[in-house]
Amino acid sequence: MPELPEVETTCAGIRPHLVGNVFSDVQVRQTQLRWAVDAQLKQHLMGLKVVSVTRRAKYCLLNTAQGSVILHLGMSGHLKILPANTVAGKHDHVDFVFADQKMLRFNDQRKFGAVLWAEGNPLSHSLLKDLGVEPLTDDFTPHHLYQLAQNRTIPIKTFIMDGHNVVGVGNIYASESLFMANILPTRKAASLNPHDCERLVAAIKHVLQQAIKQGGTTLKDFLSPAGNPGYFSQSLQVYGRAGQGCYRCQTPIQQLKIGQRASYFCPVCQQ
DNA sequence: TTAATCACCTGAGGGC
DNA sequence: TGCCCTCAGGTGATTA
Instruction: Please name the residues in contact with A169: beta carbons below 8 A apart, sequence gap of 6 or more.
Output: A3, A4, A135, A160, A161, A177, A204, A208
User: How far does the CA of A271 sit from the C1' of B7, in Å?
Assistant: 34
The closest nt to A239, taking CA to C1', is C9
Which pTM value belongs to this model?
0.93
User: How far does the CA of A40 sit from the C1' of C14, in Å?
Assistant: 30
Rounded percentage of chain A residues whose pLDDT exceeds 70: 93
Scanning residues 1 through 20 of protein chain A, those with a beta carbon under 7 Å from any atom of strand C turn out to be 1-3, 6
The closest nt to A221, taking CA to C1', is C9
What pLDDT, on the 0 to 100 scale, is given for residue A126?
86
User: How far does the CA of A57 sit from the C1' of B1, in Å?
Assistant: 24
A110 band by pLDDT with thresholds 50, 70 and 90 = confident
Is nucleic acid strand B under 7 Å from A150's C-beta? no
Name the active-site residue from A55, A58, A80, A157: A58
- Exposure pattern of A73-90 as b/e (b: 16+ CB <10 Å)? bbebbbbbbbeeeeeeee
Q: Is A58 marked active-site?
A: yes
Is nucleic acid strand B under 7 Å from A199's C-beta? no
The closest nt to A58, taking CA to C1', is C10
What pLDDT, on the 0 to 100 scale, is given for residue A220?
54
Q: How far is CA A228 from CA A25, A80, A223, A231, in A?
A: 27, 11, 5, 9
* DSSP-derived secondary structure for A227-249: SPPPBGGGG-SSTT-TTSBPTTT
Rounded percentage of chain A residues whose pLDDT exceeds 90: 63
Q: Is the pLDDT of residue A112 over 90?
A: no
Which residue type, as a one-letter code, is found at position A89? G
Q: Stretch A30-54: mean pLDDT, rounded?
A: 93
* DSSP-derived secondary structure for A14-69: HHHHHTT-BEEEEEES--BSSSBPPTTHHHHHTTPBP-EEEEETTEEEEE-SSEEE
Is nucleic acid strand B under 7 Å from A34's C-beta? yes
User: How far does the CA of A238 sit from the C1' of B3, in Å?
Assistant: 27
The closest nt to A260, taking CA to C1', is B5
What residue ranges define each of the domains in chain A, with the CATH number in brackets? 4-124 (3.20.190.10), 142-265 (1.10.8.50)
Q: Is A3 marked active-site?
A: yes
What pLDDT, on the 0 to 100 scale, is given for residue A222?
57
What pLDDT, on the 0 to 100 scale, is given for residue A232?
61
What pLDDT, on the 0 to 100 scale, is given for residue A129?
87
Q: Is the pLDDT of residue A95 over 80?
A: yes
Q: Mean pLDDT score of chain A, rounded to an integer? A: 89
Q: Which residue is nearest to nucleotide C7 (CA to C1')?
A: A262
User: How far does the CA of A20 sit from the C1' of C5, in Å?
Assistant: 50
pLDDT tens digit sequence for A198-240: 999 999 999 999 988 887 665 555 566 666 666 566 678 998 8
SS3 A92: strand
Least confident of A20-24, A74-78, A116-120, A249-253: A74-78
pLDDT tens digit sequence for A156-180: 999 999 999 999 898 989 999 999 9
Least confident of A11-15, A22-26, A200-204, A258-262: A258-262
